[in-house]
Each structure stands twice: as structure tokens, then as C-alpha cells.
Amino acid sequence: RIQEEEWNKYIVPSKNESEKCKVSRTFSFLMNRMTSTRNKCKTKNKDTKDKEKLNRHNFTNGTFSGVIPCMACEKALLGKESLQCSHCNVIVHKSCKECAPVCTKTQRLYAKGCKDVKMSNVSNRASTVLEQQFLEEVLSSVHPSSSVPIGLSAGRREASQQSRFLSKSVPSASLESSMPFSEQDSETSTWRSKSRSEEMLQALGTFSSVDPFVMEDDVDLSQWTDLHTDAQDFEAESWSVVVDPMFCSKQEKDVIKRQDVIFELMQTEVHHIHTLFIMSEIFRKGMKEELQLDHSTVDRIFPCLDELLEMHRQFFWRMKERRQESCEAGSERNFVISRIGDILVQQFSEENATKMKKIYGEFCSHQKEAVNLFKELQQNKKFQNFIKLRNSNLLARRRGIPECILLVTQRITKYPVLVERILQYSKEGTEEHKDLCKALHLIKDIIAAVDLKVNEYEKKQKLSEILSRTENKTYTKLKNGHVFRKQDLMRKDRMILHEGLVYWKTATGRFKDTLALLLTDVLLFLQEKDQKYIFAAVDQKPSVISLQRLIVREVANEERGMFLISASSAGPEMYEVHTSSKEERNNWMRHIQDAVESCPEEEEEGKMSESDEDRRIAEAKASRIQKYQESLSNQDQQICSYLEEKLHIYSELGDMSGFEDVHVEPHLLIKPDSGETPQASSLLAAALREVESLHVAVTTSQVSETDQSPEESIEELSVKHRFSANEILESVPRELIPDCFFGKLSQSMAESIENNVIKVVFGQMLRYMSFPGSTRTEIVQAIQNLTRLLYSIQAALAIQDSHRELHRLLLQENEKTSRGHGSRLNLLLEQEKYRNLEKQRMELANIHKLKQQFQQEQQRWLRECDQRRREQEAREGRRGQRERECGCQEELLERSRRGLALQLQEYQQNLERLQEGQKMVERERDSVKMQKQLLWHWKHGEQSSLLSSTGSYEV
């Protein structure tokens, strides 16, 4: 669709088009048009000013060269179509100024009290240079992979690099803190009083460390500082660029390549932590704090993000510590990491491996769900603006949420490549090489486990999707009469193994399109009807097949068909199913055979196909038993509460009677809601001890009132009035005594014991008022304790009765169930016998096939051995012949060498003779030359003498 900001660009005609459409109008018409246009312009300007007040931008015409993207629509813009804010330097189209983000610089200064920055005057030349540097920095930050804008000179490119370095090295806080501030009358006068150079300098100083489009509070500056410091340490392309060239030249070639790969491992780990930091601090934090999204929704988009960040930080810190330990003495720049395998083994083994499998398994499994949820949330306009604003954050590196999620899921697959490259340049046989091999194996195991978890989750999601599209009332009737419904597919132990479209061949030879689902214990066929799935109904055959007695065979003369033979006890059934290709048929047969072999042995066909009616009956019985149990438990709690109220009333009566010193606990000695059956034997023994102590107290008080001696009185009273535990137990029937001490008393037994004890005790206590005060207090205390014990026994026996009845009912149900399952024992034995026979037959067939293959391999091996023997003999013959030829050639070469040696000797002698002859010729030539010179001198002398003689003669 066309964006709103782009729409004006498409509907506003250009200047040439406006001139083409000129027509002549009357004066009145032109006046009306001018008046209406002026009113419209006033309204439009008013709306525009209101929007500008909201955005707080001060737009001016853009004055820059090159192609720069718009900050609102991210499309390229030119200088004529652009507007630039003089406050925050945001550059947008003229039609996009209403959609521009809020001017953050105005917000910061407005919040600080509209303070103005006073700086020294800067020349126009410096202002122009700084402005160009800022534009280059914006372009490089928006498009990190792109170069400097088109049209910039080499000098400006260099200036841009220097400004970029300055922006990274100088934090914004230090620059802002060093600038003096002064109060102004209004915000408008403040912005108008600023010079262009001041704005460029401030933007230059704060560009790298603080994002101009997002508030600084959105990111934890301490965490970002640590991450930024680590990233700066790994900005270089490779290890060989980081260390000194002299130090690098001293290392071997394999060492340099190994260090480059280790440096790349640490560098990519920093980038991965940066990606996780972007997801956590920029996107997730904003969703929770600004958008106020539910935490569960945010966690669905970023699952296990904190665990991932912490795990990779620990991994990187260990590698960073190893780097610091490996530094050369006296230099922090030069280092050679000799051991990295132990850190990799620690990271990908034991507890860390389990954690990584769990975290990455969950994250990768929910990748599609997170991306789909993000796309669903993007339909909200507020969410769209939030994402656009966050994407403009320079720390985010223009990475969106889907891109970040994809990078995280791909990270674990990068480790094997890097470890293999490190292993390639490591010496074999060393401890480091062994650790790297072990780490590589562990990494591959983790990746396999993560893939398995992702596959299982996808299969669960696929089964859930199919179940959601399945009709609720659909069912199929099995051969044994049981009904299989949709609810039977929702068992937790059932998981989809394979699914696909197959063609079920009917008795008339037609094919019906069905969706086959291979589960852990059944194979079922579904048909689509009105965009819903129902159980397939073909030739009145069940569309659900148990895997326990399933046989798969190929169809003769049909490469795309297979037979499914179900040997059910209720009657065998055969299905003919076809696929779209032979490979798909073989794939289906392999999956079905694997599922049959891995099918649970204890799974019974009757249990699998249990009717819905029986299950409902069992559930109803269980619910009734649960209700009865809850009702009995409530009644027991009421009994205990009533008994405790009686104890409380007794204590109040004792206080009213003047026995304030008597201490009474108005609580029973058992807890009705403890979940355990209370034992009454200990309570009964304590009650008997209280009765004996009460008897001793009464006897002692009677002895003190008589005139006889204490010993005689005690003997007389002990014979006359003694009643002990044996006399109390005589009041109870003999057949009930053994059970009393094992906590198995009934309610009637408890009442008989309680009545007899109370009658005996209170019969002896009718005259307690004649006792002394201290003795009466002891007697009342003993009575209260005895009452509490007896009430506790009564409550315990009531709870025991409830538990005994429930246990008896459960035993009866278990006996009925065992009798119902007893009839299936023979069926299970037959199934086991059939399964064993089938396995034996398959094993024999496999053994026969293996034997044939062995014989064929043996014959082929013998043939190859004969062929190799013949080839070896032929090679030996050729080698002997070649040796003989080589011997003859060696003899010929020896003879030729000797002849050449003789020739060389002759040549040397001839050369010597020639040299001697040459010397003789040279001597003779020298003598002839001398003779010629003498002859010439002689002739010259003769001529001179003749001339002189002739002259004298003439004279």
C-alpha cells in the first residue's frame, strides 16, 4: 500500500504540469479562488504548526550533497526535497515532516530548564566542514556497510573518518558537562540564538555515545559501556592486524592462521552478545516499560533471553581472560592463545551442555511462534511507531526483531565451522588437539539434541493443529465393537511420527484422498470435509489401525502401492494405500516398520480401543468415590471441631468452679486434615496412665484422712478400692482387646471404653469436694487430661472408620477391574506369541538375506582376488622385462661412457697440440713482423740515401 507521506508526492503535479494546465479565467473567479485558497492555507498552516509544536522540530531546507535516506520513510532524498531540523539534525522529506520522530534534543533541554550552550564563535568555513562531517556520520551510521556519500572529496572523507574517531573516543557526558549553561527567557529565543557551528560540534561529540533518536535512559549505560569496550577490542579484521607487524612476522604460518580463527571466534561471540543486548535492552525493555505489554507476551517473543545472555557472557569472559593470560610480557597488544580447547570443552559439556540444549531447544522451537506474534502485534499503529523508533536507534544497527531472532537461532551452527578451522591448524597428538576434537563432538551432539527438540515441538504443534481442525463429534468403530473418538487422540503419550497425503484404494478400484497420521501406537486416516477433518469412511473399514499387529507389504507390479495388514484378534483387515511416488512409498514403509518395532509392548489393544462408555463409567465411579471421601473428611472435621468446643466449655466450667490453676489445651491431639490415618493405641495407653495417676491421687487423699498408719491404710485401700488398667480392660470384650493396641477400634468399641472409664472414674470422684485443695486441683487436671485423650481417641476412631470404608470400596473396585482384565490374559499371550513368531520370521528372512549377500560378496571377493593375482603376475613379468632392458641399456650406456671418455682424452690431446701449434704460429708471425719492420726501415734508409745522393749530384 502507499504510505500517507508518499501520497502527496504522487498527487501533487510538478511545475511543468501546472504550466501546461493554465487556462484563462475571469477576474471574479480569480478573486474567489484566491480568497478560498488563502483560507485553506491558513487552516493548513495552523494544523502544521500544531503538529510541529508536538514534534518540536525547527525544519529548514536541506543543504547537503549526496544521497541520504529519509529518517521517516527510509527512502533516498535529494537536497531540493529535503528538510533538516536545526536542533537534532534529522533529515526528512518535505512530505514526511509530520511523521518525523520527536525532537529528542529539544526534549532534553526542555527538561533541564531550557538551558543554552555558550561556545566560542566558529568561522563559516569550520561550520561548513563540521556540517559535512555530521552528514557523513549519519550516512555511515544508517548504512554501516555503505561508503561515504557520492560527491564528497577525498579530504572530506578523511575528515569524516577523523570525526567518527572523535565521536567514539569522546563521550557525550564529558562534552556536555564542560559546556557552560545559562538561562534564557523562552525556549524559542534559546534555539534561535544558537549558531550552526555549535550544533554541529555538539552533534559530533554526542553522536556515537548517545543515540539522538532514543532517550539515554532506554539503555543501561554501564552494560553498554562494557560491551562497547569489548567490541572495540575486536574491531580489527583479524589477529594479524591487531598485533605488531614484527611480532606477527616471528610466528609460523599455521600459528597465524590459528590465531586468526580464534580471534574470529571471540569477535563473533561479541557480536552475538551485542545482538542479545539489543533484543533485551532496546526492544524487550521498551515493550515492558513503554508499551506496558504483558510479560508473558513479551516472553513469547523473547524466550529464554536472560539465560542466553548470561551463558554467552560467561563464555566470552573465559575466552577474554585466556587472552589476557596469553599476552606477551610488557605488551598488552601482542598475544598468542595456545590453549582454547579446554574452554570449549567446559562450555559444551556436562551442566553447560544440558543448559544449552534446553535453552536453545526452547528458543529455536518457538522461533516461528515469536515471529508470527511479532507480525500480529505490528498491526497496531502504536506498536509500529515503537518499532520504527527503536530501529532508528544507532545501537540496534538497523536490525529488526525477526532478524535478531534469526541470528540467535543460527549462532549455534557457527561453532562447528570455527572449531574445525582451529583444529585444522593445530598439531596432532597434543592435548589441545584432543580437547578440540572432543569439543567438536560435543557441539555436534548439542546441535543434534536441539534439532530433535525442535522436531518434536513441530510435531506436537502439527498434531495440535490437526486436532483443532478435527470435528468434535467424529468417530470410527473398530472391529471389536469399540468406538474411537477425537478425545482418544489427545493422550499425552501419543506423538505424531509421520504424516502426509495418501490415496486409499476402495473395493471398486477408486482412490480417495486421505490424510494419514502415524502416531506412536496407531495409524489413522482422516478426510477433509467442509474444512474440517473427520475419520475416513471407506468400505466400512476402521480408519484406525493398531501398530502392534500390523504388517506392511509391497503391492506386486505397483511401485507406488503398499498393503497394510492388521492381524487383529477381532478379525484381520487389509488396506491398500498408494502414494504419489515410489520414494514416498518407501519412506512410508520405513517409518511404519520403525514405529511397529518401537511400539510399546505393554500397550494392549483392548486398552487402546477402550470404549468411551466404559471410560465414562470409570470416571463417574472415581468422581463419586472422591465426593464420598470429601464428605467423610468434612464430617470428621466437624466431629473434631465439636469435641474441641466441648473441651473449651469444660475449661470454662473449671474456671467458674475456682480451678484457675488447671491448664487445659482446648485442642485435640490429632489433626483431621493431615492426610494420614491416626493411630489410637498411643492415645489409649496415655489415657490408661492418666487413670492410674488419678487413682493414686484419690488413694493418697483418702489415706491422709484416716487414723491408721499410712502403710496399713494404703494396703487396705489398695486391696479394697484398686482399679487399674486390667480392671478397665475387663469391661471390654476379650475379643476386642488385641485390636485396641493396634489402632483398629470401631466407633462402638470406643464408646464402650469411654463409658466404662468415665463411670469408674466419676464414681470414685463423687466425694472429691472433701479432699484438700491441692489434691482437688490435681484431680481436676487429671480429669481434664483424660477427657482430652478420650475425645482424641473418639476422633481418631471416626477417621479410621472413614478410611477403612474407603479402602474397602477401592479394594472391591480393584477386584472387579482385575476380573475384567483377567479375560484378556490369553489374548495378550497370543499377541506376544504372534509377535515373537513374526520377529523370528523377520530375523530368519534377514539372516537368509545376509547369507546370500555374504555369499555374493565372497564370490565377488574371490573374483577380485584372482583378477588382482593375475594383474600382479603381469606386473611382475613386465617389471622383470623392464629390469632386463634397463640392464642392457645400462651396459650400453657404460660402453658409450667409456668411448666418450676416450674421445674426450683424444680431444684434450688434440687440443693441447693445437694450442702448441698456435703458439708456434704466433711466434713465427711475430718474427715475420719484425723482419718486415727491419726491411721497411732498411728500404726507407736506402731511399733517403738515394735522395740525398741525387740532390747533391744535381747541385
Decide if pLDDT at 359 tops 50: yes
For residues 603 and 676, state if they share a domain: no
More confident residue, 821 or 312: 312
Choose between 321 and 229: higher pLDDT.
321
Please indicate whether residue 84 or residue 434 has the higher confidence score (pLDDT).
434
Domain for residue 864, yes or no? no
Amino acid at position 86, single letter: S
Looking at the fold, whether 600 and 687 belong to one and the same domain comes out as no
Residues above pLDDT 70, as percent of the chain: 63
Confidence of residue 220 (pLDDT cuts 50, 70, 90): low
CA dist., res. 896 & res. 879, Å (int): 25
Is residue 252 situated within a structural domain?
Answer: yes
Residue 737 in this model has a pLDDT that exceeds 60: no
User: Is pLDDT at 451 greater than 90 in this prediction?
Assistant: yes
Which range among 311-325, 457-471, 840-854, 893-907 shows the weakest confidence by mean pLDDT?
Answer: 840-854
Pairwise pLDDT comparison (571 vs 161), residue with the higher score: 571
- 792 has pLDDT over 70: yes
What is the number of domains present in the chain? Answer: 4
> What letter represents residue 533's amino acid?
Y
My answer on whether 446 and 513 are in the same domain is no
Last residue of a domain, one of 822, 848, 863: 822
Looking at the fold, whether 295 and 426 belong to one and the same domain comes out as yes
Beta strands in 335-379 (DSSP E): none
Is 732 part of any domain?
yes
Q: Are residues 247 and 396 in the same domain?
A: yes
172 inside domain? yes
Which of 24-33, 268-277, 367-376, 635-644 bottoms out in mean pLDDT, i.e. has the lowest?
24-33
DSSP letter at 335 equals B
pLDDT surpasses 90 at 474: no
Instruction: Give domain status of residue 236, yes or no.
Output: yes
Q: What is the CATH number of the domain that holds 405?
A: 1.20.900.10
Q: In Å, what is the CA distance from 413 to each residue of 232, 304, 364, 776?
A: 25, 18, 12, 87
What pLDDT band is residue 922 in, cutting at 50, 70 and 90?
Answer: very high
Most confident of 222-236, 642-656, 917-931: 917-931
C-alpha cell at 242: 591487531
Distance of alpha carbon 383 from the chain centroid:
25
Is 599 in contact with 520 (CB distance < 8 Å)?
A: yes
Work out the pLDDT band at 856, boundaries 50, 70, 90. confident
Average pLDDT over residues 277-306: 90
Phi, psi of 819 (to 5 degrees): -65, -35
Give the DSSP H or E segment for 629: helix 612-656
Residue 593 in this model has a pLDDT that exceeds 70: yes
Lowest mean pLDDT among 193-202, 248-257, 438-447: 193-202
* pLDDT confidence of residue 732: 42
305 and 324, same domain (yes or no): yes
Does 715 map to a domain? yes
The set of cell numbers assigned to 85 is 531540523
Please check whether residue 420 lies inside any domain of the structure: yes
Do 679 and 556 reside in the same domain of the chain?
no
Q: What pLDDT was estimated at residue 122?
A: 36
Residues 386 and 500 placed together within one structural domain of the fold: no
- CA separation for the pair 496, 7 (Å, rounded): 51
Mean pLDDT over all residues of the chain?
Answer: 72
Q: Is the pLDDT of residue 762 over 50?
A: no
Closest CA to 265 of 336, 326, 316, 322: 316
Q: Is the pLDDT of residue 89 over 80?
A: no
State which residues form the domain around 518: 469-610
Answer with the one of 461, 487, 511 that is the final residue of a domain.
Answer: 461
Residue 548 is part of a domain; what is its CATH number?
2.30.29.30
Q: b/e per residue, 907-942, with b = 16+ CB within 10 A?
A: eeeeeeeeeeeeeeeeeeeeeeeeeeeeeeeeeeee
- Region of poorest pLDDT, from 9-13, 354-358, 683-687: 9-13
Residue 923 within a domain: no
Please identify, among 772, 801, 822, the residue that sits at the C-terminal boundary of a domain: 822
- Are 715 and 708 in contact, with CB atoms under 8 Å apart? no
Together in a domain, 312 and 455: yes
> Are the C-beta atoms of residues 442 and 353 closer than 8 Å to each other?
yes
Q: Which pLDDT score is estimated for 167?
A: 35
Task: Look at residue 659 in the predicted model and tell me its pLDDT.
Answer: 63
Claim to verify: residue 712 and residue 596 sit in the same structural domain: no
Same domain, 507 and 435: no
Q: 739 or 28: whose pLDDT is higher?
A: 28
**Is residue 398 scored above 50 in pLDDT?**
yes
409 and 270 share a domain? yes
pLDDT range class, residue 189, cuts 50, 70, 90: very low
For residue range 627-676, list pLDDT tens digits in order.
877 888 888 788 888 888 887 787 777 777 666 666 666 677 776 666 56
